[in-house]
């Protein structure tokens, strides 16, 4: 194959990866932006989505498309419910203290992962794509399903953008993100917003996983990579900024495949992880600059609500 | 008056308590069956790791999610020099410790510019880089598969006597001696001026800063001590058990150190050791019944952070024994 078509193929593959990464990272970004906590168990919600999709498509095996559509509807709801319970039972009781939440979500990570290991087993399982259709380009044929993944992710992102910027619920979320106390005194049920955001964040990860599971396979350890990648994306995109996150997801998703062609994947990961750590240290507002609603976990950014909140939470 | 003088009545109690722990551990080796003898050796080394971790987390209030990289620095610093360069045991041990100290300084200069959640994530990411490095330089480290030190490289002359690290009893007593040394280092550190400054930073960093402390330098010192002790544990592990693999640098080990400290009691000298002992046996027992023994780790983390944030010794200190260091 010539270089042009080859690059085209690589970009298509990159777009598929970017699409899934967008959804997953957006979930993490919402949770971080609104609740100001880091959810380390986010990758496990991704994994749960994939595993539940396998389970549901096996239950409804009359037609692959039917099972898949059912999975796409039921699995995220189940994951959302689990996240809802986790929020009510654990995070709320910690009053969303950032450090305690990280430790608790590490615990949650193990609990979910190992429960899946016990019930689902250690084998990787394949899920059938809802349809088989090849799009014939002049140089190669390409899986129609993968193109659908890109389109579906784009539609979901548009929907999310609409809800966040144009509806009452989105307004409540943004108000809570911007200033928790002020929102509360204006009658916004902040705690309920937190719970909903946590559940919705998990559902985004689950949807991303369900879309990708016919391409990859479901496995109980599959959550780690999306977690690290989402971290990277959210940090580069500017913590809590949705636009930045989407831009970073596309950048990372597209470049990941291309870099891996030229360098050893391990070296690529080493370099990118180091760079991201340095971004967090030296440029915590991310590469895409401060956005409209931007929160920093940096306590010495004075005059920002986050700083006051940090001081309050660290008062012993 | 120095703090030590204020508490001079307590310091006798404290010293006898620590001596009692050492004596009990020393006597245990004569009654323990072979399997538990080996397990206790491992626990003592991991306890050094956890106690080192505690200097940063328990006393300074900095929660690191990347201490496995310091453990790994000691492990590889000792193991690679012994394996590839044929360095003798004391020399390899020293190089492991130095590797750990250098890495802590480097990591400290970068990561200590952040606090709180950002510190946790930066340390986690740097540790992930260290883990990937052990995989990338697989020509020297053999990655996941790891290296096994030869029998010959595991004994050395010490003042005319031959010390053989394949002997279980030697291993047990060496670990115990190192544990004792670690305990006294940490005790001296936290009872002294630096220890007070560390706690001041933990409780309120801006206030400590206002009182004239150079908090960055003090935190760097804490990280240096913490990382070097962790590296000492790693170097000991490599030389005593003769196996060096990248699995020791995974995030799992960083979380273990956190868990051991949380369980035993952050901010107490003996807490992490107690936590290591209990958690190691808990996981050991659980792994006899299920492959999903990490479930225990997860549940323990959630339980501790929700209901028992002071840990065992922390609670005892808070309720009954305020003199516990």
* Residue B161, beta-bridge partner list: B158
pLDDT at residue A310 greater than cutoff 50: no
Alpha helices of chain B — where are they, by DSSP H?
3-6, 8-31, 34-54, 68-84, 89-111, 116-136, 138-141, 168-191, 193-203, 205-210, 215-241, 251-264, 271-289, 294-307, 311-319
Over pLDDT 90: what percentage of chain B? Answer: 34
Which is more confidently placed, B219 or A98? B219
Q: What is the pLDDT at residue A260? A: 64
pLDDT at residue B44 greater than cutoff 90: yes
Over pLDDT 70: what percentage of chain B? Answer: 97
Q: What is the pLDDT at residue B163? A: 76
Q: Tell me how far CA of residue B262 lies from CA of B53, B255, B266, in angstroms.
A: 11, 10, 6
β-strand pairing of B155-158 with B161-164: antiparallel
Neighbours of A99 (CB within 10 A): 20
Least confident span in A2-11, B42-51, B296-305:
A2-11
By Cβ distance, the residue of B111, B116, B301 closest to A297 is B116
pLDDT band at A303 (very low <50, low <70, confident <90, very high): very low
Q: What is the pLDDT at residue A134? A: 82
How near does any CA of chain A get to the CA of B130, in Å?
8
Check if the beta carbon of residue B171 is closer than 8 Å to that of residue B240: yes
Q: What is the pLDDT at residue A115? A: 93
Tell me how far apart the alpha carbons of residues A114 and A121 are, in angstroms, rounded to a whole number: 10
pLDDT at residue A44 greater than cutoff 90: yes
pLDDT at residue A307 greater than cutoff 60: no
Q: What is the pLDDT at residue A1? A: 64
Cβ of A273 within 8 Å of Cβ of B125? The answer is yes
Task: Give per-residue burial for B120-145: e unless 16+ CB within 10 Å, then b.
Answer: bbbbbbbbbbbbbbbbbeeeebbbee
Q: What is the pLDDT at residue B72? A: 94
Over pLDDT 90: what percentage of chain A? Answer: 31
Tell me how far apart the alpha carbons of residues B79 and B91 are, in angstroms, rounded to a whole number: 11
- In a 13 Å sphere around the CA of A271, the CA atoms on its Cβ side amount to 10
Tell me how far apart the alpha carbons of residues B325 and B311 are, in angstroms, rounded to a whole number: 14
Q: What distance lies between CA A256 and its chain's CA centroid?
A: 17
Q: What is the pLDDT at residue B8? A: 58
Which is more confidently placed, A314 or B247? B247
Q: What is the pLDDT at residue A315? A: 45
**For A101, which residue in chain B has the nearest alpha carbon?**
B305
Q: What is the pLDDT at residue B9? A: 66
pLDDT band at A206 (very low <50, low <70, confident <90, very high): very high
Return the closest-CA partner of residue B97 out of B196, B229, B187.
B229
pLDDT at residue B273 greater than cutoff 70: yes
Q: What is the pLDDT at residue B114? A: 85
Q: What is the pLDDT of residues B217-244, one digit of tens each?
A: 999 999 999 999 999 999 999 988 888 8
Tell me how far apart the alpha carbons of residues A197 and A242 are, in angstroms, rounded to a whole number: 14
In the block, residue with structure tokens 């003088």 = B5
pLDDT band at A316 (very low <50, low <70, confident <90, very high): very low
**For A86, which residue in chain B has the nearest alpha carbon?**
B302
pLDDT band at A292 (very low <50, low <70, confident <90, very high): very low
pLDDT at residue B1 greater than cutoff 60: no
pLDDT at residue B28 greater than cutoff 80: yes
Return the closest-CA partner of residue A101 out of A225, A200, A198.
A198
**For A119, which residue in chain B has the nearest alpha carbon?**
B292
Least confident span in A249-258, A304-313, B127-136:
A304-313
Cβ of B295 within 8 Å of Cβ of A111? The answer is yes
Tell me how far apart the alpha carbons of residues A96 and A237 are, in angstroms, rounded to a whole number: 23
- Can you tell me the mean pLDDT for B167-175? 87
Q: What is the pLDDT at residue B140? A: 84
**For A112, which residue in chain B has the nearest alpha carbon?**
B295
Domains and CATH numbers, chain B: 3-250 (1.10.3470)
Q: What is the pLDDT at residue A136? A: 81
ipTM greater than 0.85, yes or no?
no
Cβ of A297 within 8 Å of Cβ of B297? The answer is no
Q: Is A168 helix (H, G, I), strand (E, B) or coil?
A: helix
By Cβ distance, the residue of B111, B122, B297 closest to A110 is B297
Cβ of B121 within 8 Å of Cβ of A270? The answer is no
Q: What is the pLDDT at residue B98? A: 95
Cβ of B116 within 8 Å of Cβ of A109? The answer is no
What is the phi/psi pair of residue A145, to 5°?
A: -65, -40
Return the closest-CA partner of residue A300 out of B240, B82, B215.
B215
* Per-window interface: A 101-120 vs B, CB < 8 A: 102-104, 106-111, 113-115, 117-118
Cβ of B298 within 8 Å of Cβ of A266? The answer is no
**CB-based contact, A127 to chain B, within 8 Å:** no
Architecture of domain A15-314 in CATH? Orthogonal Bundle (1.10)
pLDDT at residue A162 greater than cutoff 60: yes
Task: Report how many helices (DSSP H) and strands (DSSP E) chain B contains, helices first.
Answer: 15, 4
* Residues from chain A contacting residue B120 (CB–CB below 8 Å): 38, 99, 102
pLDDT band at B105 (very low <50, low <70, confident <90, very high): very high
* Residues from chain A contacting residue B204 (CB–CB below 8 Å): 314-316
Cβ of A122 within 8 Å of Cβ of B292? The answer is no
Cβ of B120 within 8 Å of Cβ of A99? The answer is yes
* Per-window interface: A 249-308 vs B, CB < 8 A: 264, 266-267, 269-270, 273-274, 276-278, 280-282, 284, 297-299
Q: What is the pLDDT of residues A99-158, one digit of tens each?
A: 889 889 999 999 999 999 999 888 888 888 888 888 888 777 788 888 899 999 999 999
By Cβ distance, the residue of A102, A113, A115 closest to B120 is A102
* Residues from chain B contacting residue A233 (CB–CB below 8 Å): none
How near does any CA of chain B get to the CA of A268, in Å?
10
* Residues from chain B contacting residue A231 (CB–CB below 8 Å): 121, 125
Q: What is the pLDDT at residue A113? A: 93
Tell me how far apart the alpha carbons of residues A68 and B238 are, in angstroms, rounded to a whole number: 50
* Residues from chain A contacting residue B292 (CB–CB below 8 Å): 114-115, 117-118
Q: Which of A264-268, B23-27, B178-182 has the highest mean pLDDT?
A: B178-182
pLDDT band at B15 (very low <50, low <70, confident <90, very high): confident
pLDDT at residue A300 greater than cutoff 50: no
- Can you tell me the mean pLDDT for A77-88? 94
Cβ of B121 within 8 Å of Cβ of A235? The answer is yes
Q: How far apart are the first and last CA of chain B?
A: 18
**CB-based contact, A122 to chain B, within 8 Å:** yes
How near does any CA of chain A get to the CA of B301, in Å?
5
- Can you tell me the mean pLDDT for B294-303? 89
Least confident span in A36-50, A177-191, A291-305, B227-241:
A291-305
By Cβ distance, the residue of B63, B117, B300 closest to A297 is B117
How near does any CA of chain A get to the CA of B199, in Å?
12
Helix (H) or strand (E) holding B162: strand B161-164
- Can you tell me the mean pLDDT for B280-295? 87
Which is more confidently placed, A293 or A196? A196
How near does any CA of chain B get to the CA of A316, in Å?
7
Cβ of B306 within 8 Å of Cβ of A316? The answer is no
* Residue B164, beta-bridge partner list: B155
Cβ of A104 within 8 Å of Cβ of B298? The answer is no
Q: Which of A2-6, A18-22, A300-304 has the highest mean pLDDT?
A: A18-22
pLDDT band at A297 (very low <50, low <70, confident <90, very high): very low
Query: What sign does the CA torsion over A123, A127, A128, A129 have?
Result: negative
Which is more confidently placed, B79 or A264? B79
Over pLDDT 70: what percentage of chain A? Answer: 88
Selected for mutation to probe chain B from A43, A92, A110, A279 (highest B CB count within 10 Å) is: A110
What is the phi/psi pair of residue A131, to 5°?
A: -155, 160
Cβ of B121 within 8 Å of Cβ of A269? The answer is no
**CB-based contact, A221 to chain B, within 8 Å:** no
Q: What is the pLDDT at residue A305? A: 46
The DSSP code for A62 is S
* Encoded tokens for A81: 């419910």
Cβ of B295 within 8 Å of Cβ of A93? The answer is no
């Amino acid at each position: 194959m010539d270089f042009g078509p080859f690059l085209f193929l690589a970009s298509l593959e990159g777009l598929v990866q970017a699409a899934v990464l967008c959804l997953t990272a957006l979930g993490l970004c919402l949770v971080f932006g609104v609740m100001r906590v880091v959810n380390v168990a986010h990758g496990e919600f991704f994994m749960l989505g994939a595993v539940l999709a396998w389970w549901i498509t096996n239950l409804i095996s009359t037609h692959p498309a039917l099972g898949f559509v059912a999975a796409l509807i039921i699995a995220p709801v189940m994951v959302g419910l689990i996240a809802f319970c986790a929020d009510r039972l654990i995070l709320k009781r910690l009053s969303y203290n950032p450090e305690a939440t990280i430790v608790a979500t590490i615990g949650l990570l193990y609990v979910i992962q190992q429960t899946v290991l016990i019930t689902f087993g250690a084998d990787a399982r394949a899920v059938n794509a809802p349809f088989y259709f090849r799009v014939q380009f002049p140089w190669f044929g390409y899986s129609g399903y993968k193109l659908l993944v890109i389109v579906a992710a784009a539609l979901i992102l548009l929907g999310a953008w609409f809800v966040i910027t144009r509806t009452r619920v989105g307004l409540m979320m943004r108000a809570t993100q911007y200033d928790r106390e002020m929102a509360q005194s204006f009658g916004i049920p902040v705690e309920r917003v937190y719970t909903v955001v946590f559940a919705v964040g998990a559902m985004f990860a689950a949807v991303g996983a369900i879309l990708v599971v016919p391409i990859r396979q479901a496995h109980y350890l599959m959550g780690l990579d999306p977690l690290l990648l989402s971290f990277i994306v959210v940090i580069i995109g500017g913590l809590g900024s949705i636009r930045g996150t989407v831009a970073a997801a596309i950048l990372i998703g597209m470049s990941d495949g291309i870099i891996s062609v030229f360098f050893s994947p391990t070296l690529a990961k080493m370099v990118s992880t180091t760079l991201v750590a340095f971004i967090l240290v030296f440029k915590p507002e991310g590469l895409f600059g401060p956005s409209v609603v931007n929160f920093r976990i940096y306590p010495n950014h004075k005059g920002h609500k986050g700083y006051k909140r940090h001081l309050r939470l660290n008062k012993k | 008056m120095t703090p030590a003088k204020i508490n001079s009545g307590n310091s006798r109690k404290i010293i006898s308590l620590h001596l009692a722990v050492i004596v009990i551990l020393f006597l245990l080796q004569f009654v323990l069956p072979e399997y538990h003898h080996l397990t206790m050796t491992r626990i003592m080394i991991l306890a050094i790791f956890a106690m080192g971790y505690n200097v940063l987390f328990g006393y300074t209030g900095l929660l690191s999610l990347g201490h496995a990289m310091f453990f790994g620095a000691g492990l590889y610093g000792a193991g690679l020099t012994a394996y590839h360069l044929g360095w003798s045991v004391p020399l390899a041990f020293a190089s492991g410790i130095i590797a750990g100290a250098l890495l802590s300084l480097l990591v400290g200069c970068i990561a200590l510019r952040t606090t709180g959640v950002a510190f946790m994530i930066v340390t986690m990411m740097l540790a992930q880089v260290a883990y990937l490095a052990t995989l990338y330089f697989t020509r020297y480290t053999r990655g996941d598969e790891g290296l096994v030190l030869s029998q010959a490289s595991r004994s050395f002359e010490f003042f005319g006597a031959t010390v053989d690290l394949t002997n279980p009893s030697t291993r047990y007593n060496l670990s115990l001696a190192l544990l004792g040394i670690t305990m006294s280092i940490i005790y001296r550190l936290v009872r002294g001026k630096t220890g007070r400054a560390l706690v001041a930073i933990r409780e309120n960093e801006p206030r400590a800063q206002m009182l004239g402390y150079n908090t960055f330098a003090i935190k760097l010192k804490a990280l240096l001590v913490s990382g070097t002790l962790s590296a000492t544990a790693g170097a000991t592990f490599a030389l005593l058990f003769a196996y060096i693999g990248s699995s020791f640098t995974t995030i799992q080990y960083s979380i273990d150190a956190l868990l051991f400290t949380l369980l035993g009691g952050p901010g107490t000298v003996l807490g992490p050791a107690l936590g290591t002992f209990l958690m190691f046996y808990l996981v050991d027992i659980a792994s006899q019944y299920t492959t999903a023994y990490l479930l225990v780790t997860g549940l323990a983390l959630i339980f501790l952070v929700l209901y028992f944030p002071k840990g065992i010794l922390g609670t005892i200190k808070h309720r009954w024994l305020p003199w516990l260091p």
